Homo-oligomer: A and B are copies of this chain.
Amino acid sequence: MNTILSNLKIQVNEKIYVKDPETSALGKKIIEQSILLIDEIGFDNFTFKKLGEKIGSNESSIYRYFENKHKLLVYLSSWYWSWMEYKLVFATTNITDPKEKLRNAITIVTEKVIDDSSTEHINEAILNKIIIAEFTKTLHTKEVDQENKEGFFLIYKRVINRIVNIVTEVNPSYLYAKSLVSTIVEGSLHQHFLTEHFTNITDCNTSKSTTQFYLHLIENVLH
Contacts and interface: CB of A to CB of B under 8 A. Distances in A.
Given A133-B140, A203-B178, A197 B148 contact: yes
A179 B197 contact: no
Contacts of A44: 141-142
A172 interface: no
Interface in A177-209: 177-183, 186-187, 190-191, 193-194, 197-198, 200-204
Contact of A220 (B45, B179, B220): B220
Given A157-B200, A183-B191, A176 B42 contact: no
The main secondary structure of chain A at its interface with chain B is helix
Contacts of A137: 136-137, 140
A193 B153 CA distance: 14
B183 A203 contact: no
Interface residues of A, number: 49
A127 interface: no
Contacts of A144: 197
A140 B136 CA distance: 9
Interface string A40-73: 0110110000000000000000000000000000
Interface of A: 41-42, 44-45, 133-134, 136-137, 139-142, 144-145, 148, 153, 157, 160-161, 164, 175-183, 186-187, 190-191, 193-194, 197-198, 200-204, 210, 213, 216-217, 220-221, 223
Given A157-B200, A179-B204, 8 more contacts: A41-B142, A44-B141, A133-B140, A178-B202, A183-B190, A186-B190, A187-B190, A220-B220
